[in-house]
Amino acid sequence: MGSRTFRAVVVLLLALLVAPAQAASAAPFTPGSPGLGDPYFPLAGNGGYDVVHYSLVFAYDPATRLFDGTATITATATQDLSRFDLDLRGFEIGRLTVNGAAAAFTRDGQELIITTAAGLPAGSVFTVVVGYAGVPEVITDPDGSIEGFVPTEDGAFVVGEPQGSPGWYPANDNPRDKATYDFTATVPAGLTVLANGVLAARTESAGHTTFVWRATSPMAPYLATATLGRFDLTQYTLSSGIPAYVAIDPRLPTGNVLRKLPDIVEFYASIYGPYPFEAVGAIVDDAPDVGYSLETQTKPVFYRMPDEETLAHELSHMWYGDSVTLTEWPDIWLHEGFATWSEWIWSEHLGHKSAHNWFKTLYNTPPQDTAFWTPPPGNPGSPAFLFNGTIYYRGAMTLQALREKIGDAAFFEIMRRWASEHRYGNVTTPQFVALAEQVSGQQLDQFFEVWLYRPEKPTVW
Ligand SMILES: [Zn+2]
Q: What is the reported pLDDT for 118? A: 86
Q: How much distance in Å is there from the Cα of 317 to the middle of ligand 1? A: 7
Q: How much distance in Å is there from the Cα of 313 to the middle of ligand 1? A: 6
In the chain, what are the helix, strand and coil shares in percent, each to the nearest 5? Answer: 30, 30, 40
Cβ 142 vs Cβ 101: under 8 Å: no
Q: What is the reported pLDDT for 254? A: 81
Q: How much distance in Å is there from the Cα of 338 to the middle of ligand 1? A: 8
- pTM for the full model? 0.93
Percent of the chain with pLDDT strictly greater than 90: 93
Mean pLDDT of 148-169: 98
pLDDT by residue (tens digit) across 387-440?
Answer: 999 999 999 999 999 999 999 999 999 999 999 999 999 999 999 999 999 999
Q: How much distance in Å is there from the Cα of 430 to the middle of ligand 1? A: 21
Distance CA 110, CA 322 (A): 24
Q: How much distance in Å is there from the Cα of 293 to the middle of ligand 1? A: 8
Q: How much distance in Å is there from the Cα of 309 to the middle of ligand 1? A: 11
Q: How much distance in Å is there from the Cα of 336 to the middle of ligand 1? A: 5
pLDDT by residue (tens digit) across 341-375?
Answer: 999 999 999 999 999 999 999 999 999 999 999 99
Q: How much distance in Å is there from the Cα of 339 to the middle of ligand 1? A: 6
pLDDT by residue (tens digit) across 32-46?
Answer: 999 999 999 999 999
Percent of the chain with pLDDT strictly greater than 70: 94
Q: How many helices (H) and strands (E) does the chain have?
A: 10, 23
Q: How much distance in Å is there from the Cα of 389 to the middle of ligand 1? A: 11
Q: What is the reported pLDDT for 77? A: 98
Q: How much distance in Å is there from the Cα of 61 to the middle of ligand 1? A: 30
Q: How much distance in Å is there from the Cα of 40 to the middle of ligand 1? A: 18
Q: How much distance in Å is there from the Cα of 312 to the middle of ligand 1? A: 10
Mean pLDDT of 318-333: 98
Residue 288 has pLDDT above 70, yes or no: yes
Distance CA 455, CA 387 (A): 16
Q: How much distance in Å is there from the Cα of 178 to the middle of ligand 1? A: 19
Q: How much distance in Å is there from the Cα of 333 to the middle of ligand 1? A: 9
Q: What is the reported pLDDT for 152? A: 97
- Report DSSP letters for 198-259, one per residue: EEEEEEEETTEEEEEEEEEEEE-GGG--EEEES-EEEEEE-TTS-EEEEEE-TTSPP-SGGG
Q: How much distance in Å is there from the Cα of 294 to the middle of ligand 1? A: 7
Q: How much distance in Å is there from the Cα of 337 to the middle of ligand 1? A: 8
Q: How much distance in Å is there from the Cα of 80 to the middle of ligand 1? A: 38
Q: How much distance in Å is there from the Cα of 295 to the middle of ligand 1? A: 7
Residue 232 has pLDDT above 70, yes or no: yes
CA distances, 447 to each of 46, 434, 443, 460 (Å): 36, 12, 8, 9
Q: How much distance in Å is there from the Cα of 220 to the middle of ligand 1? A: 15
Residue 9 has pLDDT above 60, yes or no: no
Q: How much distance in Å is there from the Cα of 322 to the middle of ligand 1? A: 10
- Report DSSP letters for 433-450, one per residue: HHHHHHHH-S--HHHHII
Q: How much distance in Å is there from the Cα of 170 to the middle of ligand 1? A: 25
Q: How much distance in Å is there from the Cα of 397 to the middle of ligand 1? A: 15
More confident residue, 10 or 122: 122
The pLDDT-based confidence of 14 (bands split at 50, 70, 90) is: very low
Mean pLDDT of 105-109: 97
Calculate the average pLDDT of the chain: 94
